[in-house]
């Protein structure tokens, strides 16, 4: 329970409430603007409908706090937020950077201009129906993959567990760096630049095929990315020691990372932002997805042309993952067929069993 003297000071209008004990206090619908709550205990407090603008909340604890419809506009939060409800709140310009969050609801909140840079989103972080804008910042935030499919994260790529802001060309710094590594390390047989351009995948053809079946392509991209990520985790502890094998291992790992990032980005692009099955991504978005497919296919081809003997020494072959997924989708086979074959190539029965469970259609509620 709250300390009676601390609660009396708050009700009397004291500004300095630092390190006060206000646990389980009813502070709902109060004008608390400008108060200093630094280091205060606000666990399980009721802050519903209160105005906390210009407050100092550095180091405060909010575990189990109900702050629904609260006004925290422009306030900096530097705390661990667990079991907190800020649904419907005014969080315009609120600074959540580097906060750790778990079991927190932002449903219906206005997070326009809010910063979540470097934050850590644990389980049960909800961003349903939030209002956001181009100033909402998730750069470098860590979280679970499902967040990447939410509209608020539409301007970000999900790469190795973190969110990276996309550039105007539809890629991110990390994805471009990985592609450059593939290109620079592949040593494609240098016939001429014109030959390379002539053999480059036809983006318009890829775009047309993606546009013809976006849902199937999205499903394959999501599930194939899961398998690639699982394989990356599997080989992380099996790095070879001899220099020659290590070179091939490092190149395959780079390409796997690029494939995973590309698949996640394709899935994000094709995600139905409105939640309605009747709305499809724009032509511009299809083109961005097609260019990712073309870039990755080109990089894999270059690597295979130079290092095919090294690639086929291994049962696991990242190049075949990309080639199989594109081949089967272009041939018109269901996503499950191509995915199961790719799964067989990279991990045998254990991966196939995992793939099968992921590909089972969800039961309609």
> What DSSP line would sit under 343-359, residue for residue?
HHHHHHHHHHHHHHHHH
- What is the reported pLDDT for 266? 81
CB 258 within 8 A of CB 179: yes
Length of the chain: 365
- What is the reported pLDDT for 30? 97
- One digit per residue, pLDDT tens: the chain, 365 residues? 889 999 999 999 999 999 999 999 999 999 999 999 999 999 999 999 999 999 999 989 999 999 999 999 999 998 889 999 999 999 999 999 999 999 999 999 999 999 999 999 988 899 999 999 989 999 999 988 788 888 899 888 887 788 988 876 555 565 555 555 545 544 433 443 344 444 455 777 777 777 787 877 777 777 777 777 777 777 777 777 777 777 777 777 777 787 888 778 888 887 743 344 444 556 777 888 878 777 777 666 666 556 555 554 454 444 444 544 453 344 333 344 444 444 444 444 454 455 455 545 455 54
CA-wise closest residue to 178 among 252, 105, 93: 252
CA 118, CA 100: separation in Å to the nearest integer?
A: 9
pLDDT digits (tens, 9 = 90+) for 265-306: 888 887 743 344 444 556 777 888 878 777 777 666 666 556
Kindly report the CA angle at 149 between 115 and 259, in degrees rounded to 5?
105
CB 163 within 8 A of CB 140: yes
CA 95, CA 90: separation in Å to the nearest integer?
A: 12
Report in angstroms the alpha-carbon separations of 320 from 220, 292, 306.
15, 17, 15
CB 288 within 8 A of CB 266: no
Report in angstroms the alpha-carbon separations of 271 from 50, 148, 218.
36, 10, 7
- What is the reported pLDDT for 301? 62
Q: How many CA atoms lie within 13 A of 164 on its CB side?
A: 20
Secondary structure (H, E, C), 39-98: CCECCCCECCCCECCCCECCCCECCCCECCCCECCCCECCCEEEEEECCCCECCCCECCC
CA 94, CA 283: separation in Å to the nearest integer?
A: 35
pLDDT digits (tens, 9 = 90+) for 179-219: 555 455 444 334 433 444 444 557 777 777 777 878 777 77
CA 4, CA 20: separation in Å to the nearest integer?
A: 10
């Amino acid at each position: 329970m709250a300390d009676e003297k601390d609660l009396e000071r708050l009700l009397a209008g004291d500004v300095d409430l630092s390190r006060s004990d206000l646990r389980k206090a009813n502070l709902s619908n109060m004008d608390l603007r400008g108060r200093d709550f630094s280091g205060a205990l606000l666990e399980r407090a009721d802050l519903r409908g209160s105005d906390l603008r210009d407050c100092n909340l550095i180091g405060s604890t909010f575990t189990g706090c109900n702050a629904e419809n609260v006004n925290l506009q422009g306030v900096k939060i530097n705390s661990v937020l667990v079991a907190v409800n800020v649904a419907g709140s005014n969080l315009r310009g609120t600074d959540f950077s580097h906060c750790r969050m778990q079991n927190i609801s932002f449903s219906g909140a206005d997070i326009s201009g809010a910063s979540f840079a470097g934050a850590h989103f644990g389980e049960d972080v909800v961003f349903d129906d939030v209002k956001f804008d181009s100033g909402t910042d998730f750069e470098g935030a860590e979280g679970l993959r499902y967040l990447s499919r939410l509209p608020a994260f539409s301007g970000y790529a999900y790469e190795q567990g973190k969110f990276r802001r996309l550039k105007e060309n539809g890629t991110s710094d990390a994805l471009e760096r990985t592609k450059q590594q593939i290109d620079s390390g592949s040593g494609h047989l240098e016939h001429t630049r014109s030959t390379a351009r002539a053999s480059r995948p036809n983006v318009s053809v890829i775009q047309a095929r993606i546009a013809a079946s976006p849902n199937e392509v999205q499903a394959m991209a999501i599930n194939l990315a899961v398998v690639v990520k699982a394989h990356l985790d599997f080989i992380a502890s099996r790095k070879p020691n001899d220099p020659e094998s290590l070179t091939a291992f490092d190149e395959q790992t780079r390409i796997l990372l690029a494939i995973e990032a590309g698949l996640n980005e394709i899935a994000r692009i094709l995600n139905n932002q409105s939640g309605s099955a009747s709305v499809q991504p724009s032509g511009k978005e299809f083109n961005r997805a097609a260019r990712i497919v073309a870039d990755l296919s080109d990089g894999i081809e270059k690597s295979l042309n130079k290092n095919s003997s090294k690639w086929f020494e291994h049962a696991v072959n990242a190049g075949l993952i990309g080639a199989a997924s594109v081949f089967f989708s272009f041939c018109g086979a269901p996503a499950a067929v191509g995915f199961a074959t790719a799964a067989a190539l990279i991990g045998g029965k254990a991966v196939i069993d995992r793939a099968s469970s992921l590909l089972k259609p969800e039961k309609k509620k």
